[in-house]
Amino acid sequence: MIAHGISGLLRPLLSGLNASKIRFIYVCAVTEQHSAPAKRGSRRGFSTTHKLQDAPGEPSSAGQVTVHFINRDGERLTATAKEGESLLEVVVNQNLAIDGFGACEGTLACSTCHLIFEKNTFQKLETVSDEELDMLDLAYGLTETSRLGCQVRMKKWMDGLTVRVPMDVSDIRRQLGAGEQSKQ
């Protein structure tokens, strides 16, 4: 019923197009509306980010790298990463409990994936871009060995890497969430 109303509204706009093409587009659109909803992943802290990389099948042990995160509360979180995966992707894909991590989902628009590296590891990392430096300027707890997790990709030589999550993070969502709770 609604579909007929929509096609009636669109008919004058689409009168110049071939009718068979219109029906095909219309049928595809209606079919997609009735497909099963996508599964929602579990939430991490403030983020609703789902897996950032699609990984078909079971990952093999080749190309796997172990990485350790020291969380804000001192808890050690260990994950297995794929070579080429960013540290942000590791946290998101493995649903690690790092509160507020990766608010911009790797678009280099925030500093919530700020990580602190050991000096010898930091010196081996690829050069920091100007865009990353601009975002690091906004990070709380900035150190000489700070980097954004979305910009550091895992390599085989990093196997056993340990990084620290800073004690605090600049995330406006925390302030908004706190304000909403106090109103209740």
DSSP 29-51: HHHHHTSPPPPPPPPBTTB----
* CA–CA distance, 120 with 145 (Å, rounded to integer): 9
Dihedral sign of CA atoms 55, 58, 63, 67 in order: positive
Helix residue ranges, H only, 105-171: 119-122, 130-136
Cα(43)–Cα(17) distance, rounded to whole angstroms? 45
pLDDT of residue 153: 97
Note if the pTM is more than 0.75: no
Encoded tokens for 7: 């096609």
Divide the 184 residues of the chain into consecutive groups of 10 and give the mean pLDDT of each group: 48 46 37 39 42 46 89 95 97 92 92 96 96 94 96 97 84 53 50
**Domains (range + CATH), the chain:** 64-164 (3.10.20.30)
